[in-house]
Amino acid sequence: MSKPQLYDDNPSSDLILQGDIFTEIDFFLTDFESKISKGKSQSELTEIALPPSGTGNIMSLIGETTPDAETDKTVTKEPILRQYSEKRPVAIVSQTCDIADGEYVVVSPIYTLREYKEKLETNGEKAEKIREHSGLITNRKGLLDKFYLENLQVNRNTQQNCFIDLRQVNTVNKNIFSPRKRLASLSHWGRQVLNYQLMWVYGRPVIEW
């Protein structure tokens, strides 16, 4: 049996569809760092943080409190919210009917597998674990929050193995996307698999598989 085709060879010239992949835009990211503080109560470390306009998310940050074995004071790991933007290729993850009827679409950023491996190495992961994680992505057998994009044509001369990070989303006006800026469009099979993975990440129903 031949391998299903991931990309549509003849995408629509005037429609934007779920799974369409576009050139770089400013994508807002959120990272968490932590610092240790002593003697603070849980309530003193609670705060509400608002991500940049257009991300559609509100996050509540609560410090993690643990007892200190050496003193009577409390040791708390206080989360620090760090937000920034970086230019990223993105994929539209909104359903096609929502794209047609609405003014805004939800997009997720795209990373290369090389970037992912380098990040794991920086975090001190062992080579065996890095191979395992990479294999789960490329075989679509696990890590379903990462949708594998094999041989994505990122520019005229370069194809790279990438993935869509489905756990990161921004909400943006759909008018910034035009078919001429599209890098690729998923095939019908590709959109089915994308919907399957979105179901696992966000609990979306899959009507037909």
What span, in angstroms and rounded, lies between the C-alpha atoms of 158 and 72?
59
Q: Is 139 exposed, middle or buried (0-12, 13-18, 19+ CB in 10 A)?
A: exposed
Domain residue ranges of the chain, discontinuous segments joined by +: 21-202
Instruction: Measure Cα distances from 64 to 38, 45, 46, 192 in Å.
Output: 12, 9, 10, 39
Q: Tell me: the pLDDT tens digits for 21-52?
A: 999 999 998 776 544 444 444 444 333 333 44
CA 142 to chain centre: 15
- Residue-wise pLDDT for 185-209, tens only, equals 999 999 999 999 999 888 855 554 4
For the cut 60, the answer to whether the pLDDT of residue 8 exceeds it is yes
Amino acid identity of 4? Answer: P
